[in-house]
Chains A and B, each alone.
Chain A
Amino acid sequence: MATVELKDVRKTYGGRVEAVKGISIDIPDGAMCVLVGPSGCGKSTLLRMIAGLEEITSGTVSIGDKVVNTLGPAERDIAMVFQNYALYPHMKVYDNMAYGLRNRGMDKDEIDRRVRDAAGTLGLAELLERRPRELSGGQRQRVAMGRAIVRSPKAFLFDEPLSNLDAKLRGQMRIEIKNLQRSLGVTSVYVTHDQVEAMTLADTLVVMNQGLAEQVDTPIAIYERPASIFVAGFIGSPAMNLLAAEGGETGKGLKLAAGGTVKPRETSLPDAGRKVLLGVRPEHLTLVSARNNADIEMKVTAVEALGADTLAHGYPVDGDARAGELIARLPGTVRVADGDVLPLAIDAGMAHLFDAGSGKRN
């Protein structure tokens, strides 16, 4: 148990390529911090620096108030779960889990007790004599988890541990990991590109882009108030609608680049002429009965009826298809067809405005 603290951590390869450009995060004891971002954003590099598998170019990584920059991976007292599980193929499940303990010269009986405890917790008791290749993907994942928990390390590091599993198993393991992490109370850093995992697992969510942390906050806060266009587009599925617009005359709302004006309720509007991006999540567009009540009208070009929801794809009717795509998430009971024009209202206070130049929240 320990806190994990990153201070202005940077990674430069060969003196030129900057993979991580100065990240500072404080992870409280027992919390789960999720690093999310597109591939190549530096999230895995950051995790590997915490693990001690990559050198830290500058900045400090502390685990339990102790700077670990110069320590090797073994001395940092962390455990890591890899994407491909990295189980030792020539060892039985038992030996896979005992390996780290044996290397630390632990007493035989204690090793046995710990391995059997962990196996019990993870439902692996029957599988201890098997070899990794005789296990299913989910079981291998569990063994990898087991190998991490027997050590009772100061921190768990997860490197996309669920991405090799099928969708159903992934959902199940996600909940198991969450419960396990909660009950053990071990500080964890979890890397993923899957935003569902990010939203559900994180106490602290770090959205990374091009080596920088775009936003660090709780998942809900990030969903409700994305700090930049990147975060807005990355968190939430389907992605947030982003329409180019500029401030209209006082009291007149926003002039959409696609044509027409919008006046979102409970939103402070920018000065006249200032270029912004209007962001509205698909789930915050509501179908209204009368055109007068509509903030925006959408011409439907494609419909995905998912049962629970209906996703309507289209564009603002005053503009054309290139001016900006719109997606609305409507109740599953609503029947829409291609070519329909839907009057949509933006839910009160649910419009996001971003500066068109900097991409930051207004």
Chain B
Amino acid sequence: MSPRVTFPNKILPYLLIAPQLVIVGIFFYWPASQALYQSVLREDPFGLRSTFVGLANFRRVLSEPNYINALQNTAVFSIAVAFVAMAIALLLAVMADKIIRGRGIYRTMLIWPYAIAPAIAGMVWLFMFNPAMGTFAYMLRSSGYQWDPLLRGDQAMVLVIAAAAWKQISYNFLFFVAGLQAIPKTLIEAAAIDGAGETKRFWTIIFPLLAPTTFFLLVINTTYAFFDTFGIIHAVTGGGPGKATETLVYKVYNDGFVNLILGDSAAQSVILMVIVIALTAIQFRYVEKKVHYG
């Protein structure tokens, strides 16, 4: 047991955490409580009066086919983004770990995309794959593939997944590289002497030992896919075609700020909040059990 650090001053510790508490309070608890409050109110069309309606907003939102559609989209989108972003990042990290000369340059280059704003990342992908002017769209079409994300929902989904995953790869890469470096080299050597080939070493030694990193990234990536991808979707598809790429967050925005149905939008944010809390709890409870903190 390490001895507990004690501060003789009774006020100082509170003073030191105060800025963080204020920020969390203003930017999280206040809006969250506003959402809770709004979710049980209904405003009249002109925004002059609001009435308490209990759980009616929730009932209506949950029975709406568009909402179920957004829920499905979010599931597909989040799983795909987290999986693609993590798999590619891990592959790149393992490759980069093998490079000895110019290691720093590779890493820096691979980390850069993280510095790009989501909306801009979206635009880059949009330009590349825009059916009218995109280079890659042109190449796809000339190779005989029917590429039209403006009309076909599945292709639009692939496009936003690619853009969202691409942006997150850098972040994951950074953590995987650090995770790989934390694995003692002698373990790999011991495994080599024990007759494990490179692939076998990866799956039996390296991958299990990366589990804490992978788990952490899983939580981060899921949250990212749920919330931080709004900008990308907004820029690339705007939730379309139809509502093929409308995720929960996008719908919250659309209903609340475009259609100004504040009660429904608030109810959706509350549901979203519950979903994310539940997901995180499940991840910590079940996935962490299989994680070995070396």
* B139–chain A nearest beta-carbon distance, Å: 43
Q: Is A80 an interface position by the 8 A CB rule?
A: yes
Q: Is A333 an interface position by the 8 A CB rule?
A: no
Q: What is the CA–CA distance of A84 and B187 in the complex, to the nearest angstrom?
A: 9
Q: Is A330 an interface position by the 8 A CB rule?
A: no
| B193 interface neighbour in A73, A84, A88, A133, Cβ under 8 Å | A73
Known contacts A89-B292, A90-B208, A90-B292; is-contact A100 B195 (Cβ 8 Å): yes
Known contacts A89-B294, A90-B208, A90-B209; is-contact A103 B194 (Cβ 8 Å): yes
Question: Beta-carbon contacts of A56-87 to B below 8 Å, as 1s and 0s?
Answer: 00000000000000001110001110111010
Q: Looking at A73, A86, A133, A151, which has the most chain B CB atoms within 10 Å of its CB?
A: A86
Contacting residues, chain B, for A133 (C-beta < 8 A):
294
Q: Is B60 an interface position by the 8 A CB rule?
A: no
Q: What is the CA–CA distance of A153 and B61 in the complex, to the nearest angstrom?
A: 68
Q: Is B205 an interface position by the 8 A CB rule?
A: yes
Contacting residues, chain B, for A16 (C-beta < 8 A):
none
Question: Beta-carbon contacts of A170-212 to B below 8 Å, as 1s and 0s?
Answer: 0000000000000000000000000000000000000000000
Contacting residues, chain A, for B194 (C-beta < 8 A):
74, 99-100, 103, 147, 151
Q: Is B189 an interface position by the 8 A CB rule?
A: yes
* A130–chain B nearest beta-carbon distance, Å: 14
Q: Is A104 an interface position by the 8 A CB rule?
A: yes
B195 touches A84 (CB 8 A): no
| B186 interface neighbour in A73, A86, A103, Cβ under 8 Å | A86
B186 touches A82 (CB 8 A): yes
Q: Is B271 an interface position by the 8 A CB rule?
A: no
Q: Is B184 an interface position by the 8 A CB rule?
A: yes
Q: Is B24 an interface position by the 8 A CB rule?
A: no
Known contacts A84-B186, A89-B292, A90-B292; is-contact A79 B193 (Cβ 8 Å): yes
Q: What is the CA–CA distance of A72 and B294 in the complex, to the nearest angstrom?
A: 28
Q: Is B133 an interface position by the 8 A CB rule?
A: no
Q: What is the CA–CA distance of A99 and B193 in the complex, to the nearest angstrom?
A: 11
Q: What is the CA–CA distance of A216 and B195 in the complex, to the nearest angstrom?
A: 32
Q: What is the CA–CA distance of A133 and B294 in the complex, to the nearest angstrom?
A: 8
Q: What is the CA–CA distance of A104 and B194 in the complex, to the nearest angstrom?
A: 8
Q: How large is the interface on A (under 10, 10 to 19, 20 to 34, 35 or more residues)?
A: 20 to 34
Q: Is B278 an interface position by the 8 A CB rule?
A: no
Contacting residues, chain A, for B190 (C-beta < 8 A):
80, 82, 86, 88, 147
| B200 interface neighbour in A88, A103, A151, Cβ under 8 Å | A103
Q: Which B residue sits closest to A144, measured CB to CB? A: B190
A80 touches B193 (CB 8 A): yes
Q: Looking at B193, B195, B208, which has the most chain A CB atoms within 10 Å of its CB?
A: B193
Q: Is A220 an interface position by the 8 A CB rule?
A: no
Q: Is A36 an interface position by the 8 A CB rule?
A: no
Q: Is A2 an interface position by the 8 A CB rule?
A: no
Known contacts A84-B186, A88-B187, A90-B292; is-contact A72 B192 (Cβ 8 Å): yes
A99 touches B191 (CB 8 A): yes
Q: Is B62 an interface position by the 8 A CB rule?
A: no
Q: Is A51 an interface position by the 8 A CB rule?
A: yes
Q: What is the CA–CA distance of A56 and B184 in the complex, to the nearest angstrom?
A: 23
Classify the secondary structure of B's interface with A: helix
| Interface residue total, chain B, C-beta cutoff 8 A | 20
B205 touches A88 (CB 8 A): yes
Q: Is A221 an interface position by the 8 A CB rule?
A: no
Known contacts A86-B186, A103-B200; is-contact A53 B292 (Cβ 8 Å): no
Contacting residues, chain B, for A78 (C-beta < 8 A):
193
Question: Beta-carbon contacts of B132-143 to A below 8 Å, as 1s and 0s?
Answer: 000000000000
Q: Which A residue sits closest to B187, measured CB to CB? A: A86
* B233–chain A nearest beta-carbon distance, Å: 38
B195 touches A53 (CB 8 A): no
Question: Beta-carbon contacts of B167-203 to A below 8 Å, as 1s and 0s?
Answer: 0000000000000000010110111111111001000
Contacting residues, chain A, for B292 (C-beta < 8 A):
89-90
A73 touches B189 (CB 8 A): yes
A51 touches B193 (CB 8 A): yes
Q: Looking at A53, A73, A79, A90, which has the most chain B CB atoms within 10 Å of its CB?
A: A90
B192 touches A74 (CB 8 A): yes
Q: Which A residue sits closest to B194, measured CB to CB? A: A100
Question: Beta-carbon contacts of B210-241 to A below 8 Å, as 1s and 0s?
Answer: 01000000000000000000000000000000
Contacting residues, chain B, for A104 (C-beta < 8 A):
195
Question: Beta-carbon contacts of A214-227 to B below 8 Å, as 1s and 0s?
Answer: 00000000000000
Contacting residues, chain A, for B195 (C-beta < 8 A):
74, 100, 103-104
Q: What is the CA–CA distance of A133 and B209 in the complex, to the nearest angstrom?
A: 14
Q: What is the CA–CA distance of A223 and B200 in the complex, to the nearest angstrom?
A: 47
* A81–chain B nearest beta-carbon distance, Å: 9
B192 touches A84 (CB 8 A): no
Q: What is the CA–CA distance of A213 and B197 in the complex, to the nearest angstrom?
A: 34
Q: Looking at A83, A89, A133, which has the most chain B CB atoms within 10 Å of its CB?
A: A89
* A278–chain B nearest beta-carbon distance, Å: 44
Q: Which A residue sits closest to B294, measured CB to CB? A: A89
* B194–chain A nearest beta-carbon distance, Å: 4
Q: What is the CA–CA distance of A84 and B294 in the complex, to the nearest angstrom?
A: 14
B186 touches A74 (CB 8 A): no
* B197–chain A nearest beta-carbon distance, Å: 8
Q: What is the CA–CA distance of A235 and B200 in the complex, to the nearest angstrom?
A: 44
Contacting residues, chain A, for B187 (C-beta < 8 A):
86, 88
Counting from the closest, the 5 A-B pairs by CB-CB distance are A100-B194, A103-B195, A86-B186, A86-B190, A74-B195
Given A53-B192, A80-B189: 4 more A-B contacts, CB < 8 Å: A80-B190, A84-B186, A100-B194, A103-B194
Chain B residues at the A interface, C-beta cutoff of 8 Å: 184, 186-187, 189-197, 200, 204-205, 208-209, 211, 292, 294
Chain A residues at the B interface, C-beta cutoff of 8 Å: 51-53, 72-74, 78-80, 82-84, 86, 88-90, 99-100, 103-104, 133, 147, 151
Can you give 17 contacting A-B residue pairs, CB < 8 Å? A51-B193, A73-B193, A74-B192, A74-B193, A74-B194, A80-B190, A82-B186, A82-B190, A86-B184, A86-B189, A88-B205, A90-B211, A99-B191, A99-B204, A100-B194, A103-B194, A147-B194
